Amino acid sequence: MEIYTQDDVVRRYAAHLSADPELIRRASLQESGRVVQLPPQEGVFADVLDLSTGNTTGTFKSWLACLAVSRFLRQERPLVLAQSSGNTANALAAYADHVGLRAVILHPQASRRRIVPRLAESDAVRFVEVDAPEHRIKAVLAACAETLGIPVAPSPADQDEANRLRAHFLRDAGRELGRRWDWHIQALSSGYGPLGYYAGLRELQRTQPVHVPRFLGVQQEAVTPFVRALGGQPNGTGEVPMLEPTLFRQTLTEDLVRRMRDLCAYSRGTVRALTNSRYLRWEPRAVALLREAGVTVALDPDGTPRERAGLYALVGTLDAIEQGLIRPGERALIVYTGGAAPVPAGTYRPHWHAHQDAACDVVARAVATLRP
């Protein structure tokens, strides 16, 4: 059951961003957020922060794309490079088409099924499928940007600023609902979402009393760099399959590790690994809970969730309740990211395909088609 919603999040809090509010208004495509209440789970009150369902792009990256695109609107015929496993690609393509920003977007082959075909039809966007894992594509992107002298969007600063807005959104939601959350739970890849949110809380604390919920980060069994870096141990042993490709980041920078360690100390939080067997045990229950509450969970034709990042947050919550980490009487806020966009209609084919060793040459050719 939806209990709180905003349909103009980025515009409403634009004064807290470094971008020009007028340019934010021009870039905006309805950046929404809402809180959905679930039935209590073993005495624990559970709400969902749904960052996907209400957005025009069906992805939680809308806030980020709006901010990132707005920064280029003062330039004449701006052009950017980007890389994504799906959500950022769809969001950035939609916003680029909306404002006339030209973009070349790299993605791995595994993400082909995630790209919305109609977005590839835009004259402003070129998609390049790179035959390489995502961490290698990030390196390719950096090399192309340096060689071609083209900026990358979104920037790390964009990631940080867009996610800080969550603190303002939840402060206002909590005031209107008359409640506060004891736990803030999110699945982790790079961790930009919670890092930005808790940075936003620190900013608010400078001028007003702020309740700081404990953080629970959830990592899938196959990808546990934060768990290891923070001194924990993955529950599984040996090689296991990756259930969610978007939660892919195996190698962390020292800065990400430092910031996550500080976040956990600040919030008295923790990061845990969830074994595949425990995740799959809970997944049907999590899908049912979300759908009954009105949260969209997109399924492939075979009934498999199209994206599991948000489900990992909910399953991690249910598992933490069963194991006694989250206790009866506490209130948990589960962050639902991704998975809400419907299965794309039509057939997507990338404009370009490249092996990683030849990717920069291919990207240069794609860029040339967008230049006058």
pLDDT digits (tens, 9 = 90+) for 85-95: 888 999 999 99
Averaged pLDDT for residues 260-281: 97
Looking at the structure, tell me whether residues 299 and 162 fall in a common domain: yes
Looking at the structure, tell me whether residues 223 and 250 fall in a common domain: yes
Residue reference for tokens 């589960």: 334
The answer to whether residue 219 sits within a structural domain is: yes
Computed over every residue of the chain, the mean pLDDT equals: 93
The answer to whether residue 217 sits within a structural domain is: yes
Residue type, 207: T
Highest mean pLDDT among 119-123, 171-175, 346-350: 171-175
The answer to whether residue 92 sits within a structural domain is: yes
H or E stretch covering 243: none
pLDDT of residue 234: 60
pLDDT of residue 161: 96
Segments forming the whole domain that contains residue 30: 2-60+157-336
Looking at the structure, tell me whether residues 271 and 188 fall in a common domain: yes
pLDDT of residue 77 exceeding 80, the answer is no
Give CA–CA dist 240/364, Å, rounded.
Answer: 37
Cα 108 to Cα 137, 236, 341, 359, distances in angstroms: 7, 27, 19, 12
Which tens digit of pLDDT belongs to each residue from 42-65? 999 999 999 988 888 888 899 999
More confident residue, 69 or 301: 69
Looking at the structure, tell me whether residues 129 and 8 fall in a common domain: no
Tokens describing residue 346: 């039509």
Looking at the structure, tell me whether residues 186 and 242 fall in a common domain: yes
Give CA–CA dist 362/38, Å, rounded.
Answer: 48
Residue 244 CA from chain centroid, whole number: 13
Give CA–CA dist 23/96, Å, rounded.
Answer: 13
pLDDT of residue 121 exceeding 80, the answer is yes
The answer to whether residue 356 sits within a structural domain is: yes
Looking at the structure, tell me whether residues 109 and 235 fall in a common domain: no
Looking at the structure, tell me whether residues 134 and 162 fall in a common domain: no
pLDDT of residue 238 exceeding 60, the answer is no
pLDDT of residue 236: 47
Averaged pLDDT for residues 279-287: 97
Looking at the structure, tell me whether residues 280 and 171 fall in a common domain: yes
Residue type, 362: V
The answer to whether residue 83 sits within a structural domain is: yes
The answer to whether residue 46 sits within a structural domain is: yes
pLDDT of residue 127 exceeding 90, the answer is yes
DSSP for 290-331, written as a single string = HHHTT----B-TTS-BS--HHHHHHHHHHHHHHTTSS-TT-E
Contacts of 15 (CB under 8 A, 6+ apart): 21
pLDDT of residue 235 exceeding 60, the answer is no
pLDDT of residue 342: 67
Q: How confident is the model at residue 339 (pLDDT cuts 50, 70, 90)?
A: low
CB burial string 284-313: b at 16+ within 10 A, e below = eebbebbeebebbbbeeeeeebbbbbbbbb
CATH number at residue 256: 3.40.50.1100
Cis peptide before 154, with omega less than 30 degrees from 0?
yes
Contacts of 208 (CB under 8 A, 6+ apart): none
For the whole model, what pTM was predicted?
A: 0.93
The answer to whether residue 30 sits within a structural domain is: yes
The answer to whether residue 65 sits within a structural domain is: no
Looking at the structure, tell me whether residues 250 and 272 fall in a common domain: yes
Looking at the structure, tell me whether residues 282 and 173 fall in a common domain: yes
Start-end of H helices in the chain: 9-12, 21-27, 62-70, 87-99, 117-120, 134-148, 156-177, 192-205, 225-229, 254-267, 276-292, 309-322, 359-370
More confident residue, 30 or 334: 334
Looking at the structure, tell me whether residues 216 and 328 fall in a common domain: yes
In total, how many domains does the chain have?
Answer: 2
Which tens digit of pLDDT belongs to each residue from 11-35? 999 999 999 999 999 999 989 999 9
Tokens describing residue 314: 């909910």
Looking at the structure, tell me whether residues 122 and 255 fall in a common domain: no
Give CA–CA dist 62/88, Å, rounded.
Answer: 8
Averaged pLDDT for residues 175-192: 97
